[in-house]
Each structure stands twice: as C-alpha cells, then as structure tokens.
Chains A and B, each alone.
Chain A
Amino acid sequence: MSKASILIVDDDEDILYFFRVLLEENGYTVSTATTGGEALKQAETNKYDLVLLDYKLTDISGGVIADKFRKINESIQIIYITGYSLKNGEIPGSEAVREVLVKPIPEHILLRAISEAVVGQGFQTEYEG
C-alpha cells in the first residue's frame, strides 16, 4: 500500500527539518517548501495528498494559497500550522482547510491529525496513538 505524500510549507527551516524527520519516521513521503510560490510550483508537478501549511507566509497569505492548492488538486487536504491562536472555531481560507493546529504542536496531536486526514483517502496509517 502506498504512503501518503505530504508537502510541508513553513518559512522556518528548523521546523521543516524536524517535521520532515518525524513524518518520514512515520512512513510518509515528505516534501518541503519555504514560500507559497515554491509550494504551488511543487504542487503542480507532484501530486500531494496533504499540505501542512503555515498560515503566515512571507509571500502569500495562507488563506489565499489554500484555494490555489484546491484548484490544482481537488482532493488535496490542508492543515494549517500557525503561530496565531485563531478565534473560536474560525478557519480562514476555504473548505479545503481541514484543521488548524496551533504551534507548538505536540507530536502525537500532529500525527493523529495527519492520519485522520489521510485515512479517509484509503491510505495506510502507521500511527496508532
């Protein structure tokens, strides 16, 4: 069974590195991007199942970029990873945004959110926590 393919978009290289390590350890295929433009370019050439998207990017707002991902790939799932604590239950952007996780995100919460997002698409999940 194929592994889910995940794109992580964040302007912090350290976060990208440790998230990549964590997710790869859990069997996901991981790509990273530091800007919105770079992320969209990658999304056009690769088919991603899930995007972990920093809400506040230097070039494009997360709210705008989420819609663009959906245009490229209708089934793509998006999870915001953000430093803001957003208002109660309010998810900015499009219907494509599945969940908002506020940094710092504990490992088990991140893994659970990812597995819930991809399980609906018939992917095998290795996380059992």
Chain B
Amino acid sequence: MKLRKKLVLIFSASYILIFMCFIIASNTFLMKGFIDIEDSNIKKETELGLKSLDLRIEELDQTTHSFAARDDTYYYIESGLKHFINELLLSSTFIDYEINFMAFLNKEGDIICSKAFDLVELKNIPFPGSIREAIEQHGVLKDHNETDNWVSGILMTLDGPILLSSRPIITTEESGPIVGTLICARYLDFLEIEKLKGSTFLSLEVIDVNDVNSLDLYESISLVLNGSHISIERQGYDTIIGYSVLYDIFEVPVLVLKVDSPRDVYSHGLLVLAYFVGSGVLAGFVIALLSIFVMNRFILVRIVKLSEEVSEINPHMIATTKVAIPGNDEVSILSENIDEMLDALNLYQHRLKERERMATIGETSAMVGHDLRNPLQVVYLLGSRLGKKIGVLRDSGVDDSNLKDLEYIEEKLMEQTNYMNKIVSDLQDFSKNINVVYEDVDLEQTLVDVVGTLKVPENVDVSVRVDERLRSVRADANLLKRVFTNLLTNGIQAMPKGGSLTVTGTASDDEATIMVSDTGSGISGENMSKLFQPLFTTKAKGTGLGLAVSKRIVEAHGGEITVESEEGVGTSLTIKIPMHPEDEEKSSDEIKVSDAEEASEIQVQQAKYN
C-alpha cells in the first residue's frame, strides 16, 4: 500500500475514533446532565400540582369550618328553623365558595337539609343519591367527637371523584356541645382541573386508578405505589410526564395525578450537542485535511522525489550522481546519507575494480611467467651451447677476431636472457602470496651484500651507514634483500649523470628505519601517487613491479614504506619495520583471500542496495 493511502486511512480511522469518543462522552455527560435537570423540573411540577390540590382541599375545609362553627347553623340544627340558614343556602354562597353540595346532618347522622348546585349551569339541582349514599355509608364523615374534629380529602362516588370536607357544627365561639355535622363537597371535574391549571400554569390531568389500562402508565403507577413519590415517563423527544397517586380520605389510592411538560431542556440540550458535534466534525475534518496536506507537502512529496531519484541512479554513474533534497530535516538528512552512501559505494567500486585489476595482473603474470620459462630455458641452453662451440672453434685454431664477435653475441644473449628471467620472476613474485619467514637478520650485512651484487656506475657514490642495533632484527632476509635491491637499483637508475646514493639505517626501541636517498631527477607529483601501483614505471626497461612488490613485502612485515621527492633534487624512500614483531605467525601477505572476501562483501551490499 502506498504511504499516502496509508496516511489517509490512518487519519480517517483516528478521526472516526476521536469523533465516536466525543459523541459518547457528550452523550454520557452532557445529556445526562440535561436529563437530571429535566427530571428535577418535572418532579417539582408534579409536586406543585399535588400541593395546589391540597390547597384547594384546605380552602374547602376552611370554608366548611367557617360555615359549621356558626351560631346560625348551630341554632338551625337545635331549632329546626330553616331561616337560620337561608342566607347560607343562597346560590351566591355556592358560586363564591365553589361548592357543589352542602349537607346538614343532625346529631344522629341523618341528613336534615341538603342542597346541590351546578357550577356550570349556575342552577340548583337535585342532591345526587350517590352522594347521599356515600354520606350515609361512611360513618367517619359524621361521627365527630371533638369540636376540632374534621375530615377532608378526596372521596370516590358513583358520579366521580369529589373533594369533600366534614366539620362538626358548633357555636361561633367554637364551643360544644356538637349538635351535628356540615359536609361541603365539590366535584373533582374538568372545572376543578381548569382551576388548578389556571393557578399552577401546569398541564394537569386526573385519572381514575380503575381506568388505568395503558401498560406503561400502570408500571409508572406501580412504582409510585411501591414507594416512589413521583414517577417519570418520557414520551418521545417532546413530552415528559410526572405521575403521582392521590389517596382518598381512607388512605386508599384512588386517583393518578398526571402532569405533562414539554421537554424544553432536553431538546435544547440536543441542539447544543448537535452544534457541538457539528463544529467538532468540521474542525476535525479541517485538521485532518491540513495534516494530510502538510504531510504530503513536506514529507511524502519529498520522499517520493528522493525515491525517484534513487531509483534513477545508474550503477555505472555512481561517482557523479547526487540525490540532494533541499532542507534541514530528516528527509534532507536521509538524502545526504544516501549521497554519502553513494560516495562510499563509489569508493568501494573503485577499490573493487582496482582489486580485480590486481587479480588479473596476478593471474596474467603467473601465466605469462610460466609460459615464458620454457622458451627462456631453451634460449639459455642455446647460449651455453654457443659458448661451448666457440671454445671448440678456438681450440681448432679459428681466427680470433671472428670469435670475438661470436663471444659478444653469446654474452649479450645471456645478459638479455637474465634480464628476461628477472622480469618473469618479478611477475611471478607479484602473483604470489608473501610469507615472511622470520629469522635474526643483520641488516647492515644484508645491505652491504646487496650493494655488492649491484653494478654501480663509476660516477655514482654509494655510502651505507647503519646503526649497530640493526645487526639483529627479526625479519625475512631473502624478502628484504629483494626490497633493498629494488630500492637501490631504482636510486642508481635515477642518477644517469651520476650522484650519490645514501643508505641510512637508524633504530628506535621498537622500529627499524632504513632510508635510501638519491640525488637524482626526482619524481613528479603526478607520478608520486602511482609510485607503488603495479605495472607503473617510468623506465624504458621496467616492469613496474619492483616497488609494488617491495611495498607488499614491507607491509607483510607489519611495516610501511613512504616516499619523499623533489624534482631535480632527489628522492628518499623510507622503510619502517618493527624491531620485535608481536606475532610472527600472522605476518603473511594473504592479500588474495582477504581481497576476495571483501569484494564479495561489497557485491552483497550492492545487491541489497539495488
């Protein structure tokens, strides 16, 4: 999957996740808060409804009390003369005090006077039998023992629920003896409900418990009956209902008070939540888009560019390739690192080529060397046969002048053969590993021996000065002889017009230093760098292997060879080898093996990189 696609997916997933958390959190905390407020409100409203009803009942009771504790009423019961209560039975009394029924009972509990009034039609109506029955039936309404006894509340009748109050009839001074009972009542009908609505501004309803048929309502009421004061029911998003139960004068639940209320708080909460979520969605969307844009602009585009540049790298053009991405951040650092890697790769490639070249030189040298040795052998034998034949001819008295010519030919033949042999030996030496066989070497004697084998021209002055301590050094004498021969021969050949060759041997505690200085033509700066490369030579007759082999021999000893030169002044070659090699066993020149390993390592790295 492409990085860009992944990024978009990750962003989308995170966005959705955050969004869901957001919604859940707001639902849990915000909406719960709103619902709590709503619950508290509907409870208060329902309580207000209950209280208003209680107040109405109390008002009715006060009215009844004021009519019952009245001398006129008292005298009426005692005397039976109706004019005492005429004023009380006026229609205006019923209307003013909102009374539907009024019943006067004597001491025995018999109704001696009663009146009913329709508060809607505003006219007298016959006293309903149902109410009469209820009064007769319930002794509690008429058995008042004390002057301050009273009964008030709700009573269910066949005509519906009524609010009722019963008071003992006493004198105005509230003294006995009790002569009877006054009962005033009012229908708990739509008119009464409208009154309650008008005073509380609530949406009220009263339902007969026996009429409850809806299951939800029944459950709500069961809750109330089981101890909860008020139960709450939500109807959709619009309405919340508070229920409470009304008890009659016998403490029997008879009615349900239902208070409706619009869910203002809740719907307002929903609106707030919607705004909240909406702005969250928008903000999240904008942030996600911005993030993707920024990621794309500052990272992805550049990585894609880098990737394209890297994929376009030509393995043969590493040296000149750069994948620079401008900036000062991880991406540009990555590009710099890739550049560094390319440089390193280039260097390795260069070295690898160099090693391949060396290996080829080695193989070629070995092959050419071997193939030249058989013809050389033949030429050698030819030369010596020629020498013998010359001897035979001289013995048989041939003219000496002719023989001189032949002798010169023989001499040159052998000389050139020897030189060819040296070239072949150099080639073969170069192709071989160098194994140092350590022994105690007298470097002074070795140098003197080497100088003795050289053909030193008369115009060249050779001097050897060696520190005594170099008379015993751990080294391979045969190998070092070849090194010295090479260096001294080079020095002599650098001074065709004569000069002096100085060999100086010095010693420190752990290092032997031999410096070979000539006063010859010197080496140009251009040639200095190639000096130790195989097959590099400035001589007409030279294989370019002498210094390359010398370097390998010195390095096999754990030493180093350096050169200083000034054109026209001379050249100094300096060899440093340890006086006491730490590990003589390891001192060998396993150049081919290690080269092969390193080369394969580089190839592996290249393969990985590609």
Contact = CB atoms under 8 A, between A and B. Distances in A.
Contacts of B373: 82-83, 102-104
B377 A15 contact: yes
Contacts of B381: 15, 18-19, 22, 107
Interface stretch (B53-61, B87-95, B428-436): B428-436
A103 B428 contact: no
Contacts of A72: none
A104 B435 contact: no
Contact of A12 (B366, B374, B379, B384): B374
Interface string B432-476: 110101000000000000000000000000000000000000000
Nearest to B388: A25
Nearest to B428: A85
B371 interface: yes
Given A84-B428, A103-B377, A104-B379, A56 B435 contact: no
B376 A18 contact: no
B415 to A, nearest CB: 13
A23 to B, nearest CB: 11
A11 to B, nearest CB: 8
Given A85-B428, A87-B432, A104-B417, A18 B385 contact: yes
B347 to A, nearest CB: 33
A85 B374 contact: no
Contact of A83 (B371, B382, B432): B371
Contact of A88 (B370, B380, B417, B435): B435
Interface of A: 10, 12, 14-15, 18-19, 21-22, 56, 81-85, 87-88, 102-107
Nearest to B382: A18
Which of A15, A103, A104 is most buried by chain B, counting CB atoms within 10 A of its CB?
A104
Contacts of A82: 373
B378 A12 contact: yes
Query: Which A-B residue pairs are the 8 nearest by beta carbons?
Result: A83-B373, A18-B381, A83-B370, A103-B373, A104-B376, A104-B380, A104-B377, A103-B377
B369 interface: yes
A123 to B, nearest CB: 23
Which of B369, B372, B377, B428 is most buried by chain A, counting CB atoms within 10 A of its CB?
B377
B425 interface: yes
A15 B381 CA distance: 8
A85 B429 contact: yes
B421 interface: yes
Contacts of B478: 88
A21 B435 CA distance: 38
Contacts of A88: 435, 437, 478
B226 to A, nearest CB: 111
Interface of B: 366, 369-374, 376-382, 384-385, 417, 421, 425, 428-429, 432-433, 435, 437, 478
A22 to B, nearest CB: 7
Given A87-B435, A104-B380, A107-B384, A15 B429 contact: no
Contacts of B437: 88
Contact of A21 (B371, B385, B421): B385
10 contacts: A12-B374, A15-B374, A15-B381, A19-B381, A56-B370, A85-B428, A102-B373, A104-B373, A104-B379, A106-B384
Given A14-B378, A103-B377, A85 B425 contact: yes
A12 B378 CA distance: 9
A60 B137 CA distance: 146
B392 to A, nearest CB: 11
A85 B377 contact: no
Contacts of A19: 381
Contacts of B428: 84-85
Nearest to B479: A88
A90 B442 CA distance: 25
A112 B117 CA distance: 169
A83 B369 contact: yes
A103 B374 CA distance: 7
Which of B378, B433, B478 is most buried by chain A, counting CB atoms within 10 A of its CB?
B378
Which of A83, A87, A106, A107 is most buried by chain B, counting CB atoms within 10 A of its CB?
A83
B435 A103 contact: no
A73 to B, nearest CB: 26
Contacts of A107: 380-381, 384
Given A15-B378, A22-B384, A56-B370, 19 more contacts: A15-B377, A18-B378, A18-B381, A22-B381, A82-B373, A83-B369, A83-B370, A83-B373, A84-B366, A84-B370, A85-B428, A85-B429, A85-B432, A87-B432, A88-B435, A103-B377, A105-B377, A105-B380, A107-B384
B440 to A, nearest CB: 17
Nearest to B380: A104
A6 to B, nearest CB: 16
